[in-house]
């Protein structure tokens, strides 16, 4: 209830402030179309730190409001801790459930029985059956790829597996693990776990640094798979053309490093660039444009604090050789799955980024122009749901799942 009250308060603040937001009252979105009003930033709470952004527009940009009427429907509340959505060619949804099950949801919200045949997961803490994506040739080979937290003798790790969705859709056939993000660690936190095929047929996989003080520095360690974005072949080998290919002192599956816990991956529809979101600690959630071989800074630079309120490391936010986030949140969004909106069924949404927020209990809409965030809106603030993934259906609408078991459809009215 607290969140709902806050969002109403912000709405009123925004309406009040639009009157004197004259100097930048017209912006262009990524398509060149106008956004006719600029509102106050959606965040009104005090930040956790007094850190200064590296550039204007890196946090708390102007608010925007969707003007095209859209409707929000709860298609089902019957999912059990859903985590990731893959859109099937026929428009239905293949959805992971954290406890280790996979289900298909029809467009009307009807759920299949749990699909069996997946290897066991450790669903303690943040672990479980997590990210999912379809083979680019799924229509012919029915292959599915997923990530999960796997038990090993040395603790748990993020593993990537693949298998064939049986013709009767009741099982996954021939499931096998193709990649393990080692080292394992005795923690149940920060597994990363989004999966995304690129245009060359190789698979991006995000990991986390497992949260503990002892594993955190491995985000900077090029001989560890923790705190990375990896790029592997469909057989789990390092993908050809990776930035550290040929270097014997680096794991060749690494694509970028210095990440904390990446739960959002998406390609920009126009530029084709890879974008990611990751959890910061207390403050400092980030949106990054991912470039090969680059260092994204964790835990050396951060806009956040330890959960205890202590400073992290040397308490610096910028460092040569380390990339700045395109955007950051303080207080946090808790960004999970995300997608760019393709098409113009809701014209002002075209090429905007939609990010599921967990603790913030809303979906963040970001307007991005020239690789900078120029507008932010909070959607579904009244739902009081932790949004775990957002994907776009073949009908052009957005579909989102929540930790509470809901599947939403958000589309043109």
CB of 120 to Ca ion, least distance (A): 33
Instruction: For Ca ion, give the closer residue by CB, 197 or 296.
Output: 296
For residue 185, give the nearest of 225, 146, 135 by alpha carbon. 225
Hey, what are 264's tokens?
Answer: 């959002």
Chain position carrying tokens 């043109």: 412
- Separation between Cα atoms, residue 162 and residue 146, nearest integer Å: 6
Provide the pairing of β-strand 363-369 with 262-267: unpaired
CB of 340 to Ca ion, least distance (A): 21
Instruction: For Ca ion, give the closer residue by CB, 192 or 297.
Output: 297
Q: Which chain residues interact with Ca ion by CB under 5 A?
A: 296-297
129-145 core/surface letters (b: 16 or more CB in 10 A; e: else): bbbbbbbbebeeebbbb
CB of 413 to Ca ion, least distance (A): 38
Is 190 part of the annotated catalytic residue set?
A: yes
Instruction: For Ca ion, give the closer residue by CB, 100 or 297.
Output: 297
- Separation between Cα atoms, residue 40 and residue 47, nearest integer Å: 16
Residue 340 belongs to what H/E stretch?
strand 335-340
- Separation between Cα atoms, residue 267 and residue 274, nearest integer Å: 5
Instruction: For Ca ion, give the closer residue by CB, 296 or 408.
Output: 296
- Separation between Cα atoms, residue 219 and residue 411, nearest integer Å: 38
Instruction: For Ca ion, give the closer residue by CB, 253 or 285.
Output: 285
Contact 198, 204 (CB under 8 A): yes
For residue 64, give the nearest of 367, 343, 330 by alpha carbon. 367
Helix and strand element counts for the chain (H, E): 2, 25
Separation of first and last alpha carbons in the chain: 27
Instruction: For Ca ion, give the closer residue by CB, 100 or 208.
Output: 208
CB of 197 to Ca ion, least distance (A): 25
Residue 316 CA, distance from chain mean position: 25
> Which residue among the candidates 190, 259, 319, 362 is catalytic per the annotation?
190
CB of 298 to Ca ion, least distance (A): 5
| DSSP structure string for 108-161 | T--BPPPBB-PPP---STT-SEEEEEE-TTHHHH-EEEEEEEEEETTEEEEEEE
Contact 259, 209 (CB under 8 A): yes
Chain position carrying tokens 């630079």: 301
CB of 325 to Ca ion, least distance (A): 5
Instruction: For Ca ion, give the closer residue by CB, 109 or 258.
Output: 258
DSSP state of 208: B
Active site residues: 190
């Amino acid at each position: 209830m607290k969140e709902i009250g806050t969002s109403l308060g912000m709405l009123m603040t925004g309406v009040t402030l639009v009157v004197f937001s004259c100097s930048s009252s017209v912006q262009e979105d990524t398509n060149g179309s106008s956004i006719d009003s600029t509102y106050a930033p959606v965040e009104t709470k005090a930040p956790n730190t007094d850190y200064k952004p590296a550039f204007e527009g890196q946090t708390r940009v102007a608010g925007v409001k969707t003007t095209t009427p859209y409707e929000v429907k709860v298609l089902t509340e019957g999912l059990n801790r859903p985590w990731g959505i893959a859109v099937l060619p026929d428009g239905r949804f293949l959805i992971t459930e954290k406890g280790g099950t996979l289900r298909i949801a029809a467009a009307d919200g009807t759920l299949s029985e749990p699909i069996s045949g997946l290897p066991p997961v450790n669903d303690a803490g943040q672990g479980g059956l997590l990210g999912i994506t379809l083979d680019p040739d799924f229509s012919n080979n029915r292959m599915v790829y997923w990530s999960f937290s796997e038990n090993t003798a040395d603790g748990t790790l993020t593993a990537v597996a693949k298998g064939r969705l049986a013709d009767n859709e009741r099982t996954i056939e021939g499931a096998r693990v193709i990649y393990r993000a080692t080292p394992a660690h005795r923690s149940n936190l920060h597994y990363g776990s989004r999966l995304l095929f690129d245009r060359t047929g190789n698979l991006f996989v995000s990991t986390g640094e497992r949260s503990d003080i002892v594993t955190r520095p491995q985000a900077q360690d090029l001989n560890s798979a923790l705190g990375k974005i990896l790029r592997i072949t469909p057989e789990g080998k390092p993908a050809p053309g990776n930035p550290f290919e040929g270097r014997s002192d680096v794991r060749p599956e690494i694509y970028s490093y210095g990440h904390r816990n990446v739960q959002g991956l998406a390609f920009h529809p126009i530029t084709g660039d890879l974008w990611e979101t990751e959890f910061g600690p207390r403050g400092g959630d980030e949106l990054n444009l991912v470039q090969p071989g680059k260092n994204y800074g964790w835990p050396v630079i951060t806009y956040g604090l330890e959960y205890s309120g202590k400073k992290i490391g040397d308490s610096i936010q910028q460092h040569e050789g380390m990339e700045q986030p395109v955007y950051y949140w303080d207080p946090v969004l808790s960004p999970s799955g995300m997608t760019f909106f393709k098409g113009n069924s809701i014209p002002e949404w075209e090429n905007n980024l939609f990010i599921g927020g967990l603790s913030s209990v809303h979906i963040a809409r970001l307007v991005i122009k020239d690789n900078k965030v120029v507008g932010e809106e909070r959607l579904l603030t009244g739902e009081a749901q932790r949004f775990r993934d957002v994907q776009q259906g073949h009908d052009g609408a957005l579909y989102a799942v929540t930790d509470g078991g809901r599947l939403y459809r958000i589309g043109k009215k």
